Structures are given as structure tokens and as C-alpha cells.
Amino acid sequence: MTNTTILTVEELNILYIVKGDSRNETIDNFFDMLPDIDDEDIRKITESALEKVQDMSDEDFAGIDFEDGFTGDEG
């Protein structure tokens, strides 16, 4: 993944929510979700994550580790 596509923790959490079986399906899921976001801060994070996913290659997207789920404390 290039420096321009490094995702923040917040972006990764949103990406985890909308992740599809492919980068293109994930992008479609972002667009499906955007109209339902009323919170301006969440909308900005979501739009930023969407832009980064659109800019990355399929290979970079496939390299994202989704196995751990949400970041942060669990339990």
C-alpha cells in the first residue's frame, strides 16, 4: 500500500463494516451507506476511506488484514 493510501484506525473500522468480497463491491457498499450517514464527522471519515479505497489497487486492497475485525479494546 502506498503512503497516499494509508488508512487511519477510524477509516479501517468503517472499511471493516462495508467490506465486500472485492474492492469494487466494497466501493459499491460505501456508496450505498453514504446517504444514511447524518453525522458530519462520520461522513468525512467515510468519504476519506472511500477515496483511499478507490485510489488503491486490487492487490493493495487484498493485502489489508481484516482478520482482527475492529481495532481497539475488545472484551
pLDDT tens-digit map of 31-75: 999 999 999 999 999 999 999 999 999 999 999 887 765 555 444
Query: CB atoms < 10 A from the CB of 28, how many?
Result: 13
Contact 41, 75 (CB under 8 A): no
For residues 9, 24, 50 and 61, what is the CA-based torsion angle, rounded to 10 degrees? 30
Where is pLDDT greater, at 68 or 4? 68
3-class DSSP state of 17: helix
pTM across the whole model: 0.81
